[in-house]
Amino acid sequence: MHALDILGDPVRRRILELVRDGEAPAGSVASVIAEEFGISQPAVSQHLRVLRENGFVTVRPEGTRRLYALDPSGLREAGEWLSPFERFWRGPFAALGTELARGERERRLASADAAAGAAPTGADDRERAAAPVIPIRRGHPHEMLETHDPNPPSARPPTPKE
């Protein structure tokens, strides 16, 4: 079975989440999965077996209990398969990170201005915020979108101060 076939099942993904940070007894894994997905303990055992046989989890007996832990080799196989496709999302995720940081910075500055009793933003800022931003695609359709402001602040006529 291919690594992505294994990860395609939501029950198996949830089991991996449960054992991600360390060992977990089969009984507690089965209890959580049964509660969240409404499946029986034998069905959970089958999922654990599939994960174990395909290198996603390890099992260690401790007395009468079986302790399951994440085995990174299965995830490594999935990562190796996905790595040639990373170029399709690496740029857009980096751009998203930049935009999120920019928004956070703007919120922080606005909050600091409000706390300092600064005057509200001027007409120039309101016009800039209202200017349309047109996305432009360059290169492959899955590559990062660039944006172009048709009215950059330097191209706008000066606005008289109120």
Burial of residue 26 (CB within 10 Å: 0-12, 13-18, 19+) is middle
With bands split at pLDDT 50, 70 and 90, how would you rate the model's confidence at 152?
low
Place of tokens 């048709």: 150
Angle value at C-alpha 64, between 62 and 12, nearest 5 degrees? 75
Instruction: Check whether 53 has a pLDDT greater than 50.
Output: yes
Q: What is the pLDDT of residue 140?
A: 47
CA quadruple 58, 59, 62, 65: dihedral, nearest 10? 140
* pTM attached to this predicted model: 0.56
Q: How confident is the model at residue 143 (pLDDT cuts 50, 70, 90)?
A: very low
With contact defined as beta carbons under 8 Å apart, do 52 and 46 qualify? Answer: no
Angstrom distances, CA of residue 82 to CA of 86, 142, 145 = 7, 15, 22
Instruction: Return all residues near 94 (Cβ < 8 A) that are at least 6 apart.
Output: 144
Domains and CATH numbers, the chain: 3-80 (1.10.10.10), 86-116+130-149 (no CATH)
pLDDT in tens, 77-123: 888 888 888 877 777 777 888 888 889 889 888 888 888 876 555 55
Report the percentage of the chain scoring pLDDT > 90. 40
Residues whose CB is less than 8 angstroms from the CB of residue 9 and which lie 6 or more positions away in sequence, other chains included: 47
